């Protein structure tokens, strides 16, 4: 049986289970940005080491080769994956950029396809967002707007669950020595989430205003997700400059929305088996400091887009049109314009079938 959009056969979903979610033994996706304790809370740490489902290739292939052979794909999908003006190759890392601090070979489409990662099936096709604790409207983007981004990006049904109380999670807490603010241990949240995955869920992504940390030696983490158990958690706490006692710029709400959407997409992407991207400037790329993080686009590169298309099955032009509308809701005009132009080109390509 193939996905609705064609591509490789579906994999059977692994059930979410408590036994394999601890950082010590699980395939856990490291956060987009994480920090180790410096005085101002902005210093950054190497990625968590994760157990890979297979041995990656020793050398990073050329970006075009990482996409794989697309000749048998529909014309519109070929157009969506064509490297060109829509995509920028990954910048050469320097200083303390992610790839200077982390030796990652990336993940080709072929590696992903052979990896046996979860894919949505007929019974589990819903992405759930679960707020943990209150999400003040004055400090977070509207959750329904973020849900619309997730709905458009992954082309799956999205539901928002009722708020869960932080105390009910039973996670380890501490006071961050740099910020003096409370934090929750992210792996404990992941463990709790595996016990609360709805029967029709492909994945559950928790969102919270409480700051997170992944390990006692780390300062903080923006988000964390598992490759196998279909659960993740993200904190909105540090997207607002006011967290650090810094003044808010005039466009701080747009910045807040962009950062929130970026981490949300990135962490859910890990739940589809996507590793950090090294081939293009991509939403799935790792970042080791704020400037590198903010320079990433909100769209997937051709390699990761092909993985998502093979896993989910969607009309590529309709997806870009939906994303354009979702970005507009968040007042992200640059991403909306990018997706609008793409939708028009891909509709033209589809007409050549």
Q: Which sequence positions are flagged as catalytic?
A: 267
Distance CA 83, CA 61 (A): 15
Q: Which residues of 24-44 are buried (b: 16+ CB within 10 A; e: fewer)?
A: eebbbbbbbbbbebeeebeeb
DSSP-derived 3-state class of residue 168? helix
Count of Cβ atoms closer than 10 Å to residue 303 Cβ: 30
- Percent of the chain that is helix, strand, coil (3-state, to 5): 35, 15, 50
Task: Measure the CA angle with vertex 265, ends 335 and 214; round to 5°.
Answer: 135
Token representation of residue 270: 């890990």
Distance CA 134, CA 164 (A): 9
- The residue written with tokens 């994945």 in the block is 203
Residue in 326, 344, 337 with CA at minimum distance from that of residue 144: 326
Helix (H) or strand (E) holding 129: strand 126-132
Distance CA 279, CA 65 (A): 10
DSSP-derived 3-state class of residue 101? helix
- The residue written with tokens 């049986």 in the block is 1
Distance CA 352, CA 219 (A): 53
Q: Are the beta carbons of 312 and 77 closer than 8 angstroms?
A: no
Distance CA 222, CA 237 (A): 8
Q: Are the beta carbons of 285 and 277 closer than 8 angstroms?
A: yes
């Amino acid at each position: 049986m193939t996905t609705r959009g064609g591509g490789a056969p579906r994999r059977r979903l692994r059930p979410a289970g408590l036994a394999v979610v601890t950082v010590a033994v699980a395939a856990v996706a490291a956060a987009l940005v994480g920090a180790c304790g410096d005085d101002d809370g902005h210093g950054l740490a190497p990625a968590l080491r994760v157990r890979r489902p297979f041995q990656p290739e020793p050398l990073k292939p050329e970006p075009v080769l990482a996409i794989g052979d697309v000749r048998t794909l529909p014309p519109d999908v070929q157009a969506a994956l064509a490297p060109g003006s829509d995509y920028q190759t990954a910048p050469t890392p320097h200083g303390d950029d992610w790839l200077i601090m982390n030796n990652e070979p990336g993940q080709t489409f072929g590696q992903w396809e052979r990896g046996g990662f979860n894919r949505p099936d007929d019974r589990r096709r819903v992405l759930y967002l679960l707020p943990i604790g209150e999400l003040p409207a004055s400090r977070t983007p509207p959750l329904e707007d973020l849900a619309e981004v997730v709905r458009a990006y992954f082309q799956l049904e999205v539901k928002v669950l009722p708020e869960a109380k932080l105390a009910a999670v039973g996670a380890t807490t501490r006071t961050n020595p740099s910020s003096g603010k409370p934090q929750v241990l992210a792996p404990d949240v992941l463990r709790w989430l595996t016990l609360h995955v709805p029967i029709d869920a492909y994945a559950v992504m928790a969102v919270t205003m409480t700051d997170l940390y992944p390990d006692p030696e780390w300062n903080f983490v923006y988000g964390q997700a598992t490759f196998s158990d279909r659960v993740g958690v993200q904190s909105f706490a540090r997207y607002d400059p006011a967290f650090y006692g810094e003044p808010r710029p005039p466009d701080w709400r747009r910045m807040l929305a962009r950062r929130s959407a970026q981490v949300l997409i990135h962490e859910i992407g890990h739940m589809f088996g996507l590793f950090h991207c090294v081939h293009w400037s991509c939403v799935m790329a790792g970042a080791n400091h704020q400037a590198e993080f903010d320079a990433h686009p909100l769209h997937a590169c051709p390699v990761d887009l092909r993985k998502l298309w093979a896993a989910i099955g969607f009309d590529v032009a309709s997806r870009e049109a939906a994303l354009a509308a979702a970005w507009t809701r968040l007042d992200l005009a640059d991403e909306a314009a990018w997706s609008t132009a793409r939708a028009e080109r891909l509709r033209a390509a589809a007409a050549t079938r």
